[in-house]
Amino acid sequence: MLLDLANSKKILFFGGKGGVGKTTISSATAMARANAGGKVLLVSTDPAHNLGHLFDRPIGSQPVRIMAGLDALELDPGETIEKHLKEISSSLHKMMPPNLYGEVDKHVALSRDAPGMHEAALLERMADVIEEGYDDYDLIVFDTAPSGHTARLMVLPEMMSAWTEGLIKRREKADRFAEFVRELGQDSSMEDKTIGGATIKEQERESKIRQILLRRRHKFTHLRERIANEDETSFIIVLAAERLPVLETIELHDQLMQANVSISCLVVNKRAPSDSGDFMEERRIQEEVHLKTLSESLPESERHDIYLQPHDVVGIAAVQKLAKQLE
Ligand SMILES: Nc1ncnc2c1ncn2[C@@H]1O[C@H](COP(=O)(O)OP(=O)(O)OP(=O)(O)O)[C@@H](O)[C@H]1O
Ligand SMILES: [Mg+2]
């Protein structure tokens, strides 16, 4: 069933409580699609990246080949933040007199830790990865960080659009300030000249900064449209048949519904196998109690169970074994 989903969608997100198996199941699903002949990109958005641990090899911010048909990468928001700040800083330098460079750099350095900066950078990278990989890959699979973080991420494109909107407005004010400074004659090279009907001042108002912000806003809006398009994007919640993961799944499901994100199924991982002795049988009975709560709260949701494996899932062969169970 997970393979059917992987065959019919373009973008899949895997989310859920910490430690339930998001990385394992998202990787197995990606591998199942690659086995079926698809080209798949597996992307970790979790700052505590664990794709590298799963495949027991370093995986960086650029795609690396895991096996035929499967590439993987771990998003690095830090790298994006630096790139973005550098772009802003050099644009500001071009607009301000050199004696203000020190102030500009101080301001830019402070905004490195501004609220939202990390998430904005992560979203921007997600948007880039989707756009850059859209034509090259049949499927892009996102392995996300534990629940709270992911739910926030899904509504963030909207919040970020509002955030960039605010910055654009502030930018307009700053542009007026720069204009005022110029009018005081501090920079005579910035005189008001007319080129093709528009004054230089007008052209400057459409400053580079504004373009950067507009470009980001456009990216966020576009990402939001992609996430909300249920024909191509779907969310899968992974959980264990235990009390807290079940409660957190119900909560995450609600949050995602409110964010207009389509949830295609719930994957109950690490289920106690039957015919494995009394202890496992008792576990199974306990699990059924929690799964009853789950199905009563989310009666419409499809469910897919995956059994607890006897060994840790590490390395291509182990993921491959799980992938075969998804076909
Ligand atoms: N079906 C399974 N059977 C046995 N072990 C499993 C199974 N699924 C996952 N595991 C093991 O459980 C541990 C956690 O799995 P995983 O890293 O995929 O979870 P996660 O939800 O991505 O965790 P985090 O929230 O920390 O990112 C790993 O050691 C993994 O090998
Ligand atoms: Mg993980």
Write down the pLDDT at residue 42.
Answer: 98
Q: Is the CB of 309 under 6 A from ligand 1?
A: yes
Rounded CA separation 270/277 (Å): 16
Rounded CA separation 71/27 (Å): 10
Residue 43 region by backbone torsions, left for phi larger than 0, else alpha for psi between -120 and 50, else beta: beta
Write down the pLDDT at residue 117.
Answer: 75
DSSP class of residue 273 equals P
Could you say which ligand is closest to the alpha carbon of residue 54? 1
Q: Which atom of ligand 1 is closest in space to residue 270's alpha carbon? A: 1
- Residue 187, pLDDT above cutoff 90: no
Residue 198 pLDDT level (bands cut at 50, 70, 90) = very low
Give the pairing type, strands 194-195 and 198-199: antiparallel
Q: Which atom of ligand 1 is closest in space to residue 238's alpha carbon? A: 21
Rounded CA separation 38/68 (Å): 9
Alpha carbon of 260 to ligand 1 centroid (Å)? 28
Q: Which atom of ligand 1 is closest in space to residue 312's alpha carbon? A: 31
Contacts of 167 (CB under 8 A, 6+ apart): 213
Q: Which residue has the higher pLDDT, 15 or 156?
A: 15
Nearest CA to ligand 1 atom 9: 21
Residue 282 pLDDT level (bands cut at 50, 70, 90) = very high
Q: Is the CB of 306 under 6 A from ligand 1?
A: yes
Query: Measuring CA to CA, which residue among 234, 235, 243, 227 is closest to residue 20?
Result: 243
- Residue 84, pLDDT above cutoff 60: yes
Q: Is the CB of 313 under 6 A from ligand 1?
A: yes
Between the alpha carbon of residue 164 and those of residues 99, 159, 209, 218, the distances in Å are 28, 9, 11, 10
Q: Is the CB of 325 under 6 A from ligand 1?
A: no
Q: Which atom of ligand 1 is closest in space to residue 17's alpha carbon? A: 25
Nearest CA to ligand 1 atom 8: 21
Q: What CATH fold (topology level) applies to the domain 2-325?
A: Rossmann fold (3.40.50)
Contacts of 2 (CB under 8 A, 6+ apart): 25, 28, 29, 32, 236, 265, 267, 304, 326
Rounded CA separation 20/33 (Å): 22
H helical segments located in 69-205: 77-95, 101-111, 117-133, 147-183, 200-205
Write down the pLDDT at residue 195.
Answer: 44
Contacts of 144 (CB under 8 A, 6+ apart): 13, 14, 15, 22, 45, 46, 150, 153
Write down the pLDDT at residue 113.
Answer: 78
User: What does the domain layout of the chain look like in residue ranges?
Assistant: 2-325
Alpha carbon of 323 to ligand 1 centroid (Å)? 14
DSSP string, 171-222: HHHHHHHHHHHHHTTS-GGG---EETTEEHHHHHHS-HHHHHHHHHHHHHHH
pLDDT tens digits, one per residue of 237-273:
999 999 999 999 999 999 888 888 889 899 999 999 9
pLDDT (mean) for 143-164: 69
- Residue 21, pLDDT above cutoff 80: yes
Task: Express as a percent the part of the chain with pLDDT over 70.
Answer: 80
Could you say which ligand is closest to the alpha carbon of residue 269? 1
User: Residues 23, 51: contact at Cβ < 8 Å?
Assistant: yes
